[in-house]
């Protein structure tokens, strides 16, 4: 092989090497871009799932609180009815005693 042929081969080899390096750089950029997009998609999915779970928890807590408030209302109504009955019973007794005192008096 002559010196000129050797130089040509070196130049060709360098050109091929530059092409390979450029293709590798482009491919690496594509891989990074794809990985970045996939990361963003996963992040959005996780955020969406977390928001949905938060809403489920809030809804459950709201329903539980409303249920407890309803139970409390029923208990309060029952207590008030008990107090009313007790008052009515004592009121009748007090009226009878007052009538007895007036009649004896």
Phi, psi of 51 (to 5 degrees): -65, -40
User: Is the whole-model pTM more than 0.85?
Assistant: no
Per residue in 5-46, pLDDT tens?
A: 989 999 999 999 999 999 999 999 999 999 999 999 999 999
Per residue in 42-61, pLDDT tens?
A: 999 999 999 999 999 999 99
Per residue in 68-78, pLDDT tens?
A: 999 999 999 99
Chain Cα centroid distance, residue 43 = 15
Report the C-alpha gap between 32 and 56 in whole angstroms.
Answer: 36
Report the C-alpha gap between 31 and 41 in whole angstroms.
Answer: 15
């Amino acid at each position: 092989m002559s010196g000129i042929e050797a130089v040509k081969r070196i130049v060709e080899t360098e050109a091929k090497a530059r092409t390979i390096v450029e293709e590798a750089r482009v491919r690496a950029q594509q891989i990074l871009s794809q990985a970045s997009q996939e990361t963003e998609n996963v992040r959005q999915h996780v955020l969406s799932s977390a928001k949905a779970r938060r809403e489920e928890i809030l809804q459950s807590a709201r329903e539980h609180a409303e249920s407890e408030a309803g139970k409390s209302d029923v208990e309060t109504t029952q207590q008030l009815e008990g107090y009313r009955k007790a008052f009515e019973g004592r009121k009748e007794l007090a009226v009878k005693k007052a009538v007895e005192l007036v009649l004896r008096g």
